[in-house]
Amino acid sequence: MGWKHDIRRAPAVRDRGTEADLQARIFAGNRIWVVGDVHGHLGTLRALMHRLNLHEDDRVVLLGDMIDRGPDSAGVIEYIREHPQIHAIKGNHEQMAIQSLQATNIELNEIWMAKGGASTWGSYIVAAKGDLHRAKLTFAEDCAWLADLPSHIVLDDWRLVHAGYHPRMDLDEQDEKTLLWIRRAFFRHDEAIDEERCILFGHTPTTKFKRSGQIAHSKIILDDGRPSWIAMDTCAYNQDSPGIAAYDLTTGKTVKQRTLKSEHWWLKTETREAPVAEFFGLAELRRRARKVVAAREKARRRLAMAGVSRRVKGPVSFRIVKRKLPLVEDVIPASGIQSQDSVIYRV
């Protein structure tokens, strides 16, 4: 029996205040963007947000699975929590992370670790610069925030959910486990599950619908001409066309942001998650430390090439100004050191 079956079948949770706010903004003509699974790709999410060119009254809703797999899940959660225009709902990966927090203790579940949790935990250790106590504290605070997220958002014409709904259960009686984990029983159902609302969901990569890197639409059409569902998980780590998609509820416009090349982590590892998962971030910290040492050595060599001795005492940094015209003074100024090609002033 899979670990997901151990998740308590708690009732699905809605945030009526958020729903009312989003609906009012739709009535006012503001844009409400719905974004698919981010999976720890902070740089790509920031690039997408920049492309959306949000106005003050616009809002963004993330469909869960904000963490795991990618290189910086800790950074993604920090960015979302601090951004005043972003709302989020819970995904199954957030649910697995929450299960690792027991009272005041953190018990990392092995199955969550195997499903991408190692990269998330590693990113918290990297963000804390190796301070395990600080990493645990931040992770616990974020898990408490994740636990309070709604299971879905219901608007007049839309349903926003991570995985979907069970077609044989009343829509008002669905449990959280179903909304976070269901797959085929939902999107293979041969009738509209909600005849009045189009359902936007993530969870299932659109490669399953033969739409690699693009959003997918149901072939079942509602009375108003919209598809009965729209699949939003374009897969940020899809090797063919990786990226994150956003859909505007007001206009029906779609924006796709390709995953930044700096976040193509699958080119550096044979596992299904970013290298930050290796030794829970310690390997990444070692790599960063080596880069710092290499950068310092490179700076030292450049100073030596510019005529600055390693034994020079005093200022730590220098400003090097290329000489374009011959110097007129015959005496070395007291404020600098004259070399054949440059005058080096102390900063």
- Over residues 227-244, the pLDDT tens digits come to 999 999 999 999 889 999
In 220-266 the beta strands, taken as DSSP E runs, fall at 229-231, 243-248, 254-258
CATH, domain range 3-285: 3.60.21.10
Contact (CB, 8 A) for 62 and 89 = yes
What is the reported pLDDT for 143? 94
pLDDT of residue 342: 43
What type of residue sits at position 116? G
Whether 164 and 182 have beta carbons less than 8 Å apart is answered as yes
The dihedral over CA atoms of 250, 251, 254, 260, expressed in degrees to the nearest 10, equals: -60
Question: How much is the pLDDT for 7?
Answer: 56
Domain(s) of CATH 3.60.21.10: residues in the chain = 3-285
Residue ranges for the chain with pLDDT beneath 70: 1-8, 103-104, 282, 309-347
CB count within 10 Å of CB 90 equals: 26
The Cα–Cα gap between 346 and 137 comes to: 44
Task: Dig out the tokens for 238 from the structure.
Answer: 């899809």
